[in-house]
Amino acid sequence: MSERSRHGSNKKPRHNTNGVAAPGPNTVPDIGVQGDPDIRHSTTDGDEEEDAEGEDEDEDVDGEQDEAQDEEEEAEPTLWYPATLFRKPTDTARSKPDPFSLVILNQPLGHFTALQRLWDNAETHIAADGGANCLYEAGPAKGEHDNLHTIIGDLDSLRDDVRSYFSSPPRHANIIHNPDQYSTDFTKAVEHIRAAFPSRNIVTLGGLGGRVDQGLSQLHHLYMFQKDPRYGEGRVYLVSEESITFLLKSGSHRIRVRDGGEEEVFGKHVGIIPVGMSSRISTKGLEWDVNNWKTEFGGQMSTSNHVLPETEVVEVKTTRDVLFTIAVRQLD
């Protein structure tokens, strides 16, 4: 009897592209997936001939990846505390997050309930060109964002009234015109921060809820900004209305998603997305955990997974870089 039958659910699998309820030859292989893997792990259609053609290549790559994973298991895991970014500044009983700079991209902020918390916790505030317009529209009459430090970009989107507002006393934002047309305003903002604070973390607000090409560009830059395997240049987070996304370099990671007694910041939905090339991942703490599971575009992907109610730390081991994304609750 299937997991679905035991639980008495008639819900159709949401991520089985073969359109059948039970695992088929191209769904998740029997490699340690717990629960009902065909619901939360996507796979594309294929045939046995294509699988056979790639078998030899997979064996070579898999052997190399297995060896790399064994080496990574001996290393200390990278620790993540993303919930601290959203702590209330009035919560003096808990430590502040590691210093970070907040970058505002050119996307409306009306529904970003976490904006004020991120703003209050950030050490510096940077608007990437038209991001200043969005910040202005988010409520300057309250004086909540008057301490904007810098507006940077080619400034083709910056409105005159917004420029005047943030550059006039008592605000005095630094306005930097960078006309380079071969880099995005996002890149210019990150490079500006790293020139002044080489190892500071960066939180970027916006960029994933608008146009698809812009969203893919932000993910591309997130990958490009994290070259150091030990995050020596700081960590970069992308925050949208509904989620926070960051890059897990190859190796072991422990991501604290909740602390005992602390406010619930994250929802249950999690995705682990390969970037650049295929990876093998192992997880603990999710409803549909996997073990040494191959993930790639055009193959299998873990999306819409769930953090278990009792999980405080999600563990991820990966042989290649992957994106980790988790839902953010509506915060007051």
Q: In angstroms, rounded to a whole number, what is the distance separating the alpha carbons of residues 285 and 283? A: 7
> ∠ CA 271-66-308 to the nearest 5 degrees?
30
Q: In angstroms, rounded to a whole number, what is the distance separating the alpha carbons of residues 175 and 150? A: 6
Superfamily of domain 28-74+243-332: Thiamin pyrophosphokinase, thiamin-binding domain (2.60.120.320)
Going from the C-alpha of 47 to that of each of 19, 39, 54, 55, 299, the distances in angstroms are 15, 21, 11, 13, 12
Q: In angstroms, rounded to a whole number, what is the distance separating the alpha carbons of residues 183 and 204? A: 17
- Closest to 219 measured CA to CA, from 177, 184, 181: 184
Amino acid identity of residue 70, one-letter, is: D
Provide the edge-to-edge strand list for the sheet that holds 78-80.
Answer: 78-80, 251-256, 313-318, 279-284, 293-295
- Closest to 83 measured CA to CA, from 96, 93, 65: 96
**Sequential DSSP letters for 317-329:** EESS-EEEEEEE-
DSSP 69: H
User: What confidence score (pLDDT) does residue 44 get?
Assistant: 52
**Into which CATH architecture does domain 96-241 fall?**
3-Layer(aba) Sandwich (3.40)
SS3 state at 16: strand
User: What confidence score (pLDDT) does residue 69 get?
Assistant: 52
Structure tokens at 41: 């792990």
Residues near 244 by beta carbon (within 8 Å), at least 6 away in sequence:
82, 85, 237, 238, 266, 325, 326, 328
The string of pLDDT tens digits covering residues 260-315 is: 666 789 999 999 999 989 999 999 999 999 999 999 999 999 999 999 999 999 99
Q: What are phi and psi of 288, to 5 degrees?
A: -115, 75
* CB burial string 208-217: b at 16+ within 10 A, e below: beeeeebbee
What are the residue ranges of helices labelled H in the chain?
A: 3-6, 37-40, 48-53, 55-74, 115-121, 131-137, 160-167, 185-196, 212-224
Domain boundaries, the chain: 28-74+243-332, 96-241
- Low-confidence stretches of the chain (pLDDT < 50) are 1-39, 46-53, 72, 141
**Sequential DSSP letters for 150-197:** EEEE--SS--HHHHHHHHSTTT--EEEE---TTS-HHHHHHHHHHHH-
What's the whole-model pTM score?
0.79
